[in-house]
Structure 1
């Protein structure tokens, strides 16, 4: 059975929710295997996002999986910028390939591709893990999961869901108490008076830049209280209320999922309205047909090549000559 096609929209800016689990759901990201490995993983994600046209909007590193909310941009093609990113990508290599002008279009497509980005960070994490742990082999359990996000409302919901992962796992009462998520990182940067850069999404664009990080932390902690302790009354700044606040029905649904420990349903590859879901399903069906045509043409070419080799073999045998044909003739269908 062929793999399900990955849905990637060709838009100037596209948002995705992605998740990757470790092999056999082992706690490879915990300190029990490699002390400080989560810090290495965060560094890899940030460095690769800087090389690719990717902005990390929210992230969380758990012991056996991680979530990312990404923004992938497709800016106008700039050969000088592509070359600079290409050179940064090769910094860790002992043997570096010199830049060629022919690489421009190829690496532009690579730096704006979700699958290439995830393959790069997962490969680097696996190499770092195996090197530190003195092992070899696979670290990840399979393909990463992804969903396309339709609009800003869905984006805020996804970011909130990602930040609540440690709360759902029972590791903390509030996301800001967990060190390995974006909310926890923002809180520590605020306490250390380090600069914090946040995306201008949802209610954040209505808040002054200097107060944006603290407002984000307050918002995420408030959502945790709504999930765990719905009876508590917590006041929020006016900028966070009204349309930016998640509906009570959503929080009830999350509480039910929290109590039942239900994961995200990855069968759907989209977040958003029913029309957007329908559009993504149509894109997926078109992609399946396209891949089927490619496989059919490949099979036809292989079939023709094998028939030609069999004909040559039969002709040589008729002339009493010997010829080795490296082909499994049994695969030919009459």
Structure 2
């Protein structure tokens, strides 16, 4: 029996999560249907645009994403502190960009004169919206439902478009976050739909590479802030150049199936994390095969288990990331 989402997401343990949604029908999410010859490539644009739009609305950052032929991957960072600092007006304006809200919340957002009871109702609604705007389930709902409606309308059919609920994995430490991001960014290369990370359409890695060419980072993605973390703003605590080099090297090995072609142990990221090249290749190329609900190094898994005594995280991933 699937675990309740509330038991899978624990922001006190980690703000990072890997989410996967898969298409339920034979009809493609994107790509080209070999049976009918019909192309669904344009749907990739729907999904990428929706992901980047939601990143501006929610207090949830996008670390990595990849839109594939019948599924999508996304690595999220929940910024709960940011949500708490939003004013009531900002919460309502953000929520109204997704939904109409109520008559009272609309009046409150416009600054209309309202009776005391209406103000109280509007503020209660705003607090509910505040929680939703830092909730992974709501983020994935706002991502998947509009896409399903668009696809069903285009296919002139009704019924489910996605497999049940989305799958999520808690990423407990730096090693699991970096490994999962690399796995997501390399999805098109493993699927043989792209030759290099920078030519992988509708992926976060392509946006990062394109922006890096201009010496900037894409505003829509959670930034890399380098190794000097203490005085930095929120971000991934590695250098962007190190990560791009690591993904490029891993991608070439994954594509050529020549594990000894490049010495990944030379990567500064792997040196800092203490991960061997063999373990890195296994986890970065076969992440889903070797991990389940909770991913991290052994000390992170132990800490998580002590905090969540009823949970049963898969320790197989500990050996891969140790």
When normalised by structure 2's length, the TM-score is 0.72
Q: Judging changes above 3 Å, is the alpha-carbon distance between structure 1 residues 202 and 69 closer, same or farther for their aligned structure 2 residues?
A: farther
Where 2:140 maps in the other structure, the secondary structure is helix
- Residue 94 (structure 2) aligns with: 85
Between Structure 1 and Structure 2, how many residues are aligned? 275
When normalised by structure 1's length, the TM-score is 0.69
Greater shift, 127-136 or 65-74, is seen at 127-136
- Residue 27 (structure 1) aligns with: 28
Structure-1 separation of matches of 2:274 and 2:202: 24
Structure-2 separation of matches of 1:34 and 1:153: 35
Q: Judging changes above 3 Å, is the alpha-carbon distance between structure 1 residues 267 and 216 closer, same or farther for their aligned structure 2 residues?
A: closer
Q: Judging changes above 3 Å, is the alpha-carbon distance between structure 1 residues 195 and 251 closer, same or farther for their aligned structure 2 residues?
A: closer
- Residue 218 (structure 2) aligns with: 196
1:49 to 42, 55, 58: 55
- Residue 300 (structure 1) aligns with: none
1:253 to 259, 272, 282: 282
Q: Judging changes above 3 Å, is the alpha-carbon distance between structure 1 residues 141 and 152 closer, same or farther for their aligned structure 2 residues?
A: same
- Residue 16 (structure 2) aligns with: 15
Q: What are the superposed Cα offsets for residues 156-204 of structure 1, whole Å, 9 maximum, x if unpaired? A: 1111111121222222343222112111222344558886345236769
Structure-2 separation of matches of 1:140 and 1:204: 41
1:264 to 282, 289, 310: 289
In the TM superposition, residue 253 of structure 1 has moved relative to its aligned partner by 2.7
- Residue 118 (structure 2) aligns with: none
1:39 to 25, 36, 45: 45
What is the root-mean-square deviation of aligned Cα atoms in Å?
A: 3.5
- Residue 248 (structure 2) aligns with: 221
- Residue 315 (structure 1) aligns with: none
Structure-2 separation of matches of 1:5 and 1:151: 22
1:135 to 157, 162, 166: 157
Structure 1 portions without partners, runs of 5+: 286-334
Kept in 1, the 8 Å contact 2:246–2:267? The answer is no
- Residue 80 (structure 2) aligns with: 74
